[in-house]
Amino acid sequence: MKEKLIQAYNNNKLIGIYDDFNHPDSFTVGYVLSIDNNSYIVYELTPNGEFDSYLCRFFDDIFKITEDTKYLDCIKKLVDYNKTKIDKNIFTGTKENIFQFLDYIIENQKICTIVTYNEDISDIVGFVEEYDKNSVKILVIDEYGFEDGIIRVELDGIKSLECCCKDEIKLEILYGINKEI
């Protein structure tokens, strides 16, 4: 699967990535922005051909990649129609993708969503305060934009990281408003 992602990256090709065995019909559509030995970063698109989020995920979870389908052709037409700009130069550093992604989140003060492999744990949403080679410390933000404690997550337990989606942007706005109160 890594080779298909590399080809998609090199050819700036829109692809569908299936990586959730519990939901085999759901998939991510987007452009690969970065690839390292273990993971990839995707510029995810909505079904309307607009930016949805940045995602960092791992190769081991992929079970299917699609390309050149009618669905993807439609998304590509909508990307062109909407003049959606894909900046492939955001994640071009020399660090592993997960660390580039965490740096981006910290430097841009973005709220992120962390999904773990432990399905008993809800998604973790908040600001990355710090990380080291083993774990990441998150200031949790609740659904109303208020601080809700600190969580430390082991890096090897992370299934995916996401930032800049509409729900996270909404929380960033609410958090800012709540801080002014």
Q: What pLDDT is attached to residue 93?
A: 84
Q: What pLDDT is attached to residue 180?
A: 87
Confirm if 93 and 102 have CB atoms less than 8 A apart. Answer: no
- Bridge-partner residues for 65, per DSSP? 17
The answer to whether 1-92 and 94-181 have equal CATH topology is yes
Q: What pLDDT is attached to residue 31?
A: 97
Q: What pLDDT is attached to residue 158?
A: 96
Which option is the CATH number for 94-181: 2.60.40.10, 1.10.287.130, 1.10.3720.10, 2.30.30.100? 2.30.30.100
Q: What pLDDT is attached to residue 126?
A: 98
111-116 and 124-131 strand pairing: antiparallel
Tell me the DSSP string of 96-130: -HHHHHHHHHHHTT-EEEEEES-TTSPPEEEEEEE
Domain ranges of the chain: 1-92, 94-181
Q: What pLDDT is attached to residue 56?
A: 97
Full pLDDT tens readout for the chain, 181 residues: 889 999 999 999 999 999 988 888 889 999 999 999 999 999 999 999 999 999 999 999 999 999 999 999 999 999 999 999 998 889 988 999 999 999 999 999 999 999 999 888 889 999 999 999 999 999 999 999 999 999 999 999 999 999 999 999 999 999 999 988 7
Confirm if 135 and 154 have CB atoms less than 8 A apart. Answer: yes
92 by Cβ neighbours in 10 Å (0-12 / 13-18 / 19+) ranks as exposed
Question: What whole-number distance in Å separates Cα of residue 114 and Cα of residue 55?
Answer: 10
Q: What pLDDT is attached to residue 47?
A: 96
Q: Does domain 1-92 have CATH number 2.60.120.560?
A: no
Question: What whole-number distance in Å separates Cα of residue 37 and Cα of residue 18?
Answer: 19
Q: What pLDDT is attached to residue 5?
A: 94
